[in-house]
Amino acid sequence: MEKKLLLVDVDAGVDDAAALMMALAAPHVEILGITCCFGNTTVENVCKNVLRVLKKCNHLQIPVYQGASTPLLNTMKKDYFYGTDGLGDIPDADAPGSDQVQREHAVAAMIRVVTLVATGPLTNLALAVKMDPTFPKKIKNMSIMGGNMYSRGNIDICAEFNFAADPEAAYIVLNEYTCPTSITTWEFASSHSLPWEFYEKCTSQDSEKARFLKEIYTVTTGYQKRPIPKLRTLYRKPGFVSCDCFAMAAAIDEDLVTESIFCAVSVELNGSHTRGMMVLDIDDRLKKENKVSIAKELDMEKFKGLLLAALK
């Protein structure tokens, strides 16, 4: 199998942590660098969280870069779904220090690398194309976790967190990046939750990584186990959801997604209830040349295998 070289842009976040662990465990994947963006917590905390994950997985040699600390224009709503520090507020006296973060800015590093997996707000990616307009043409492909395809939101009525955190950045990326792009949306992740029995099987493996993930997910799984409102059950299945793992899995194994919507997309910037919502141009009214692949179904057994392997 051809070796996959990845640059991963994160706002880590326990789900970003799980996604990174999945990529680090894949034998045919090499992460060349990890760029950090605000989102689940401050960008400083994101950098610290990434270093903690790399230490647990014995991969501290991978360079980590600090990037955008705020959205391009708006101020985002604070959301502590993963704890105030993004990793479940679990103290770690042995965590690597911020002195291990690279001095080079994340966007400068991003421009030097050609493959992207984005699991946070898209601010770094938007800044990259503004610094180098030819950058999107240099990327082999891109996998994004974000947006929505049925106008159902998680941070706002009609918007998903990553896109709502910086709608202008999402708009720039979806309109100016011309590389092959796949997107796993909020609704896709919600409708492909994993049984709690499988989550226990994964996190009960006799490994430091499994114990670490179970510990940092304590706050989040507490939220996820709450009863789901009746209307949400139309697209949200009870069980464990780690949204960012879907984007990472799709990047690791191109055959994982078995059914997709292929169309042009954009992002709504002006609506009072729809700002940050991803717009699907199913009827090709925008007449855009670049289309994206939006996941609808996936091979769940392959996905489970990747998650199990990540925690061994």
What's the pLDDT tens digit per position in 37-61? 999 899 999 999 999 999 999 999 9
Q: Per-residue confidence at 310, pLDDT binned at 50, 70, 90?
A: very high
Predicted pLDDT of residue 11? 93
How do the residues of the chain divide into helix, strand and coil, expressed in percent and rounded to 5?
Answer: 40, 15, 45
Range in 92-96, 185-189, 261-265, 295-299 with the lowest mean pLDDT: 92-96
Number of domain units in the chain: 1
Residue 56: domain span: 4-310
* Cα separation of the two ends of the chain: 22
Q: Per-residue confidence at 85, pLDDT binned at 50, 70, 90?
A: low
What are the DSSP E strand ranges found in the chain? 4-10, 29-36, 64-66, 116-118, 142-145, 181-184, 257-267, 278-281, 292-298
pTM of the predicted protein model: 0.89
Read off the DSSP letter of residue 240: B
Q: Per-residue confidence at 139, pLDDT binned at 50, 70, 90?
A: confident
Cα separations in angstroms, 287 against 7, 166, 266, 283: 30, 25, 12, 9
Q: Provide mean pLDDT across the span 278-292.
A: 94
Query: For residue 125, what are its two tokens?
Result: 């990616």
Residues annotated as catalytic are 11
pLDDT higher than 80, residue 258: yes
Task: For residues 169 and 146, give the distance between their C-alpha atoms in angstroms, rounded to a whole number.
Answer: 12
Range in 55-69, 191-205, 233-247, 289-303 with the lowest mean pLDDT: 233-247
CATH value at residue 45: 3.90.245.10
